[in-house]
Amino acid sequence: RHLYWGLFYLSFVTLWAYQSLISAQHYYSTKFPEANLAFWGVVSLATAMFGAHIATVALGLDQWLGFTLRFVPSVVGFIAVGVALLLLHYTSVVVAAFTVVGVLMALSTSPLYGLAGLFPTPVFTQAITAGNGAAGFLNVTIETLIRLSLLWLDLRVDDTLVSFQVFISCTLVLSGFAIVVWYSVISAPAVQSQRECAAVQLQNRKYGSFWGTACVIWWPALMNFLVFFVSLALWPGLGCSL
């Protein structure tokens, strides 16, 4: 149960950073009406994420860096991006934030699936998927509640800016706690035992070519591609901008 909820929360946080940028469309349209960030933000994030995944596999960064050196610096990066968005209100900073978050997501999500893959049961992979869904639902819900609360209080402040700042501040708090949860998960006896067994198996395994592996997993890879392709194609920012 500890590992399940730990992976759930870690997956929740990694998707929260992505969803925070996507959900803040009211802020973008109000502060940068001519920048078309609904389009360029998603394009820059998706391109950076794709390139980072390819680079990670091609350069062998997953084996060289390991789990912790990929996840923890990525979460620290989420915090740095959040601070930059709070202090610097420029179009270029927002686009750069989308790009950086795309790279950090590629680095931070793969260790989670790697940990889940250490266990023969699919329940831990399901925990990651559940965390992804919860991040999307709660992100939009909380962002809406923050905006409604500010409108109800009728404070003499810039409601759009303040709601965005409160929203991003949530990202900082969640990301900071994610580092604590990560070390709690990675140091669990069950995880340590499975990692040792996996290390022994890898020593006796002959690695195939990247193309050979791609031929084996092409069907689930295609399904995953179609899911993301359709979800992005239906994103309002793309259709309206084009």
Same domain, 190 and 229: no
Instruction: Using pLDDT thresholds of 50, 70 and 90, give the confidence band for residue 89.
Output: confident
Q: What is the mean pLDDT of the chain?
A: 78
Closest CA to 18 of 134, 149, 135, 152: 135
Same domain, 79 and 124: yes
Whether residue 102 is predicted with pLDDT greater than 50 in this model: the reply is: yes
Angle at 112 between CA 13 and CA 20, to 5 degrees: 20
More confident residue, 54 or 77: 77
Same domain, 101 and 160: yes
Q: What is the mean pLDDT of residues 114-128?
A: 83
Same domain, 142 and 112: yes
Same domain, 201 and 239: no
Same domain, 77 and 162: yes
pTM metric for this prediction: 0.79
Helices 91-116, 2-23: crossing angle, 10 deg rounding:
160
Which residues, in sequence order, are CB contacts of 42 under 8 Å at separation 6+?
A: 22, 98, 232, 235, 237, 238
DSSP codes joined into one string, 84-153 = HHHH---HHHHHHHHHHHHHHHHHHHHHHHHHHTTSSSTHHHHHHHHHHHHHHHHHHHHHHHHHHHHHHH
Same domain, 190 and 214: no
- Tokens 């996840």, located at residue: 71
What pLDDT digit, counting tens, does each position of 3-60 carry?
889 989 999 998 888 878 777 766 777 777 777 777 777 788 888 888 888 888 777 7
CA–CA distance, 168 with 121 (Å, rounded to integer): 35
CATH number at residue 14: 1.20.1250.20
What pLDDT digit, counting tens, does each position of 207-239 carry?
555 566 667 666 666 766 666 665 555 554 444
CA–CA distance, 147 with 165 (Å, rounded to integer): 11
**Domain residue limits at 224:** 210-242
What pLDDT digit, counting tens, does each position of 147-204 carry?
777 777 766 666 677 777 887 888 899 999 999 999 998 888 877 777 666 665 555 5
Which residues, in sequence order, are CB contacts of 18 under 8 Å at separation 6+?
A: 45, 101, 105, 135
Burial 166-202 (b: 16+ CB within 10 A, else e): ebbebbbebbeebbebbeebbeeeebeebbeeeeeee
What local confidence, expressed as pLDDT, does residue 40 receive? 78
Burial 22-32 (b: 16+ CB within 10 A, else e): bbbeebbeebe
Q: For residue 201, give the amino acid letter.
A: Q
Q: What is the mean pLDDT of residues 55-67?
A: 78
Same domain, 176 and 239: no
What local confidence, expressed as pLDDT, does residue 20 receive? 80
Number of domains into which the chain is organized: 2
Same domain, 201 and 231: no
